[in-house]
Structure 1
């Protein structure tokens, strides 16, 4: 019986020394924390300043396009005040134009491509300016026709 106890003692001692060796090799020579392990194995980008500048540029561009989109929407709302006559269904054109503008802005709300956003903004500004120019021309034409007929009754 003593022989078996001695045999198991030798096995446990050898197991313990092997385990201590393995622990020392892997745990103590390696990182103690997960952060150290990640720092050691993740490739770091040496151009940190360029990334910050790019992020700043992207934020400025997004801010400026948001500001331009808001200005365009406000211009549309201001311009629709002049369209007070009703359409064929009796709904004022002002309301129809505002609903269409709102729908188009909502459709393009999550657009991220800068070229498409710029194209939409330029197209929107052109459409508002064109509609206002046509409205002014029509009012001038109506005023000229009214002057030919004689003085207006006000």
Structure 2
């Protein structure tokens, strides 16, 4: 029985070598590839076909959907900022509530980016805004926890 096991293993190894050799024959090696960068780009880049006007309509529709989605995201972020700022009820050095300062700054940021059309920039702004809101809330929660711990330790001393 042991010789049969060796034969099966040898057969499996032979099949693996055969598959590997076939794959090597069909694989296109780099030195057999295009001679110039232009040929490489022609082969791998999708060329825009200007004969189809339906494609332009589809692209316009996708752009409008993306803008609508970004608009929804921006409005959602702005609402989240307004909700988050309600917890900042202490005054700054001028006596103005931090809530009002934060809301005014958010409004300025949104107005500055209002007419931005580049989807990549809009996405970066949205992500940055989300991270800033989350960071501010996390810091606020941490400070409140510290304040509660401090108050409890003061009560325990009494």
TM-score by length of 1: 0.67
Give SS of 2:87's match: coil
CA distance in 2, matches of 1:96, 1:62: 29
Shift of 1:85: 0.3
Matched, 1:48 2:53: yes
Shift of 1:89: 0.5
RMSD of the TM alignment (CA)? 1.1
The equivalent of 1:126 in structure 2 is: 131
Correspondences of 1:5-154 after superposition (within 5 Å): 46-150=51-155
CA distance in 1, matches of 2:68, 2:62: 10
Q: Mark the runs of 5 or more structure 1 residues left unpaired by the alignment.
A: 1-44
Shift of 1:91: 0.3
Greater Rg, structure 1 or structure 2?
1
CA distance in 2, matches of 1:141, 1:85: 17
Q: Give the 4+ runs in structure 1 shifted more than 4 A.
A: none
TM-score by length of 2: 0.66
Shift of 1:46: 2.9
CA distance in 1, matches of 2:62, 2:101: 37
CA distance in 2, matches of 1:46, 1:113: 26
Count of residues in correspondence between the two structures: 107
Q: Mark the runs of 5 or more structure 2 residues left unpaired by the alignment.
A: 1-49
Shift of 1:48: 1.9
CA distance in 2, matches of 1:111, 1:48: 27
Which digits, 9 at most, give the CA deviation of each residue in 1:27-65, with x for residues without a partner? Answer: xxxxxxxxxxxxxxxxxx531221111011001000000
